[in-house]
Structure 1
Amino acid sequence: MTAASPIAEARAHVPERRIAVALVDLVPLLRRGVQTVVTADPALVWVDAVGGARAAIELCERTGPDVVLISSRSDPGWKLCELLTRLFKELTVVALLGDEARNQEAMARARCHGVHSLVPIEADADRLIAAIRLGVDLGHFVDPHLHASVGPLRPVAITKSRPLTRRELEVLQLVAEGRTAVQIASMLGVTAETVRTHVNHVLRKLEARDRAHAVAKAFTMSLLSNESTPSG
């Protein structure tokens, strides 16, 4: 029997409470389309659309949405995404990617700055709903149309020719998933300062400008694989 796709599973899943969804982008056509999709789904509730960092923070403080959709054109460096996920720990951010943000490094940067779900900005209703629900349920989701470029990461086999140690590769994997130094430290049973030291070693060894650049270079060097992480 063929396994159900993530989108089919998300469509069939009805959460115990409705998921409150907001949008950061004031382009009328995008707002109208997203609002239509959200209000048509009984498991979702539409909050509002705003533009800019201050309005987004005020909206989250006032209404406490579960999910904020942010378009790549409204937050090109993902600084707002990073700020929102630091201020509102339970918030799930879904990135609506335009063509300019669909290269490997741009998507790695999005994930490093706190994005939980990645989906093309022109995705249909089912795919947008899947990105919302699975972002909430799993903490990470990549639309299948983007999977060829980036996806759930796992370390590949390490050989003597690879420049990173096993622990550095572990840390890089978690960085690619958008984890902070404190979160990684908790998961690996080390201090945050140790994690930052590993990250600095990774940047130096890969000659990378920053974390996102390191993740992108790791893909190119086959240090990280796009294969889905096995369950269980």
Structure 2
Amino acid sequence: MTPTGSTIRILVVDDHPLLREGLGAMIAGQADMALVAEAENGEQALSAFRAHQPDITLMDVRMPTMGGIDAITAIRAEFPAARIIVLTTYEGDAQALRAIKAGAAGYLLKSMLRKELVETIRSVHAGRRRIAADIASELAEHVADDELTVRERDVLALVAVGNANKEVAARMGISEETVKTHMKNVLTKLGARDRTHAVVVALKRGIIDI
């Protein structure tokens, strides 16, 4: 609990109105918490944070205009002490790692909100990190893996939507040989048998999003 007389001021960022409404109701049910603002994308989140400087921000990852991870980076660039908890439906370890590197102090699956949200908010407000156990396990499993470079992720994302090497090369302004080299590196880093397997692994882990 917070000290007597203090309230945890919360900003909720999600592009789904019903989820924001549900989160608002959960927050309203806690004597030590208050919802001070809502936003439906990352740009609005940054503006709302500047205006209200909340104690805790609950941040969705996948939103239009500006996604959650970019919003975390932008907010933390201006407010290094910002305490942000990511709320997501997605269990991919790569997405979680990007959020944590961006500065998220908590990472919670939306399926766990009813059981864990309130204590996660209090824990992060007290200065601790809080990452869902399943996500922490995934992170530990892949901690020694080589990360894909930005170029490798871009190539794989184009392959994932059905582009052949020649089309990928044309879209990215690189040679077909360079595309092949990137894909060879991708297969090695992901331990994938072929292009299709690489796409499946990358989607599951949140390395790419289509």
Q: Structure 2-normalised TM-score?
A: 0.61
Of the candidates 77, 80, 83, which is equivalent to residue 74 of structure 2?
83
Query: Alignment partner for residue 131 of structure 1, among 120, 136, 142?
Result: 120
Which of 83, 87, 91 aligns to 1:96? It is: 87
When the two chains are superposed, the root-mean-square deviation of aligned CA atoms in Å is 3.0
2:178 is matched with none
- The count of aligned residue pairs is 149
* C-alpha distance 144-107 of structure 1, shift in aligned 2 (>3 A): same
Deviation (angstroms), 1:87: 1.1
* Alpha-carbon distance in 2 for matches of 1:38, 1:139: 20
Task: Provide Cα deviations, 1:116-169, integer angstroms capped at 9, x if missing partner.
Answer: 100001223340112212122234111234333237xxx9xxxxxx9xxxxxxx
Q: Secondary structure at the match of 1:149?
A: helix
Larger radius of gyration: 2
Contact 1:22 1:47 in 2 (8 A): yes
Residue ranges of structure 1 left out of the alignment (5+ in a row):
1-13, 156-161, 163-204, 221-232
Supply the AA of the counterpart residue of 1:85: R
Equivalent residue for 1:53?
42
Q: Residue in 2 aligned with 1:196?
A: none
Matches within 5 A, 1:29-68: 29-68=18-57
- Check the 8 A contact 2:41/2:67 in 1, yes or no: no
2:131 aligns with 142
Q: What fraction of aligned residue pairs are identical, expressed as a percent?
A: 16
Distance apart, 1:54 and its partner CA: 3.3
Which residue matches 1:209? 149
List structure 1 segments (4+ residues) > 6 angstroms apart after TM superposition.
Answer: none
Which structure shows the bigger proportion of residues in helix conformation? 2
Check conservation: 2:73, 2:103, Cα contact below 8 A.
yes
* TM-superposed deviation, 1:84: 0.6
CA distance in 2, matches of 1:22, 1:77: 13
